[in-house]
Each structure stands twice: as C-alpha cells, then as structure tokens.
Amino acid sequence: MQTHIETIQKEFEEDFKNCFSSATLESLKIKYLGKKGPIQDLMKGLKEASGEDRPKLGKSINDLKVSIEAKLTELGRSLIAREEQQKLLAEKIDETLPGKKRFQGRKHPVNGTLDEIINILIAMGFTVEQGPDIDTDYYNFEVLNFPPEHPARDMQDTFYINKEVLLRTHTSNIQARVMESQKPPIRIIAPGKCFRNEAVTSRSHVFFHQVEAVYIDKNVSFSDLMGTLTDFMQKLFYKDIKVRFWPNYFPFVEPGLQVDIHCLNCKGSGCTLCKHTGWLEVAGAGMIHPEVLKNGGIDPEEYSGFAWGLGIERLVMLKNGIKDIRLFTENDIRFLNQFSAI
C-alpha cells in the first residue's frame, strides 16, 4: 500500500507540473480529491491493512491529501492573479481613438428666461410666491373685479373644470391670496403656468407662462410703477432700452396699462419683427383697483399698489427670433439644443 501511495504522489507531481490554467486545476482537484479519486480509494483500502500498519499508513494517506490540497490551493491563487493580469493586458485602451461626444442637458429656453427674470426681481427686493394652477373662479376672476357675466371675462377664454373650478388663465390669481396672507408692505412675484381655451396657432397656445409682480405699501405711486418696470426691462434687455406705457383696460387695475419696449431687433427704427412700429408689446400693468385691495382686506384709503403681468413665451420668442410658439412644447431636441446651457 505504501508503494501505491508513492505512485499516486508521483502521478500527482507530474500532473501538477503541467497545470497552467485554473480549468486544469479544477480537474486535478476532482481527479485526486474527489469522491471517486485515489485518496478516497486509499482510505477505503485502509480497512484491509493489518492493525499494526494502519496508523502509519493512515498518516501517510493523510499527509498526501493535505499536501495535495495545499499545493492546489497555492497554485490556484497564483493562477487567478495571472489570468486576471492577462485579461487586463488584453483590455488595453487605445487612447488614440477619437472620443465619444456626450450629450449635455440644458434648461428649457422658457425656464432659462424665467430664472433670469426671477433673479433680477429678487435682486430688486421681491420675494417669490406660488399660486395654484387649478383655481377657483373666485380667485381667478371675481376677487379681481370680474363679476359673473362681466364682458371682460371674454378677454380670457377659460377651461372650466366645473362651475367653480378652472385652470387659471393668468398669474393674477395670486393677487388676493397674498393680500389675505400678508400685511403691507407686500413685494412679491409669482411665476407660473397659465391656460386658455384658444385655438393653437403659431402665435397663441393653450398653455404658457407668466410672471406676476405685486407691490403694495403706503404711497405707492404711478411713477413707482413706471420707474420699477423701466429699471426691470433695462436689466433684462439692455441698459438704455426705451419703455412706453399706453392706457389699456384690465378690470383689476385703474389706470390699466399696456407696456411696450423698443424693438429688440431694430431698436426703434422699424422692421418686420415690430411691424415697422419700432415697439414690441411685452406686459400688462396698472395701479391695483381700490375694489381689489378691499376684496383682499386692505384699506385703499391707507395703501396703494401696482401690479404687472409678463408673458414669458412671447419674450423668449422676441429675444431669439422664434416664429412659432408651438416649438416650446414639442420637445424637439434640435430646437432645444440651440439655447445655451444657462
């Protein structure tokens, strides 16, 4: 039996010398240490050995088993390390290949301009408030001096959800809300989405954005309104841009105004963008109507205020020469990619 043990050992040494991969190593493990392997056979054969030889033979078998296990484990470690290194070498990167261009996300042009406007107004002392997109007839119309059946409601075609609830048609729905929740001096802006039940064309859409501004304090005057708006327009466009105010009717302001700026394209000399008038209409504004102040719980004898509403899509279109408002909602990456990542 001792010679048999030695033969197995020699055979193993031979196999071991020729083992160069972890796959061969696995098969050696099975061949020598597996259930049907020679070590198991030797163990079984031990029963037949004479009583006095048994301990010695048992030890030899065990020594052989332990040394095979140790050798295979050791070789296994170095084979794995070597194979990993070979894999890494094979994976070598060719740094002369041209790089892949990564797509960089950008702000939507409407959001970019909204952020710009908000930052200017915050620097001028306004804080940002948010009003609901789905609102009641009361806040969108009634409190703003549009009684039921008032013809001025026709100025804003409305999506009604039911008799009382609607999609807000303008950000002016914030006005009475801030009057109810804050005491003057009130100096807020409210950016947000608006909805109107209009035919979608290149110039009008059912969905657009506005920024509302409201300032209420003692002695707020018409010249404060004109001065603040002019300052704002000059910060948003360029330093000396001319701003013009016209009378216009909105039920919640008295007097009400239309605000124009010098054409961004021709600076006033006349071109197709401004239809040869030299001016572009950009906002509605006015002194807050005493009834609206009263509705908001503010005494019009003590306080006065101004408000304005600015359409964002129109501004972005004018600034960038965009001819179709529908482009803003089409998610066409070729269009959106043209705006800088601000």
Q: Which is nearer to ligand DAH, 5 or 229 (CB)?
A: 229
Burial of 143 (0-12, 13-18, 19+ CB in 10 A): buried
Shortest separation between residue 106's beta carbon and ligand DAH, angstroms: 28
Shortest separation between residue 245's beta carbon and ligand DAH, angstroms: 12
Q: Which is nearer to ligand DAH, 172 or 295 (CB)?
A: 172
Q: Residue 156 is which amino acid?
A: Q
Q: Which is nearer to ligand DAH, 184 or 309 (CB)?
A: 309
On whether 6 is known to bind a ligand per the annotation, the reply is no
Q: Which is nearer to ligand DAH, 38 or 191 (CB)?
A: 191
SS (H, E, C) 99-151: CCCCCCCCCCHHHHHHHHHHHHHHHCCCEECCCCCEEEHHHHCHHHCCCCCCH
324 is written with which tokens? 């179709």
Q: Scanning the structure block, which residue is given the tokens 């899509």?
A: 313
Give SS3 for 188. strand
Give SS3 for 304. strand
Give SS3 for 66. helix
Give SS3 for 251. coil
Q: Which is nearer to ligand DAH, 8 or 253 (CB)?
A: 253
- CA dist 31 and 26 (Å) reads 9
- CA dist 92 and 86 (Å) reads 10
Binding site for ligand DAH (CB under 6 A): 170, 172, 212, 250, 253, 256, 284-286, 307-309
Show binding-site residues for Mg(2+). 254
Show binding-site residues. 254
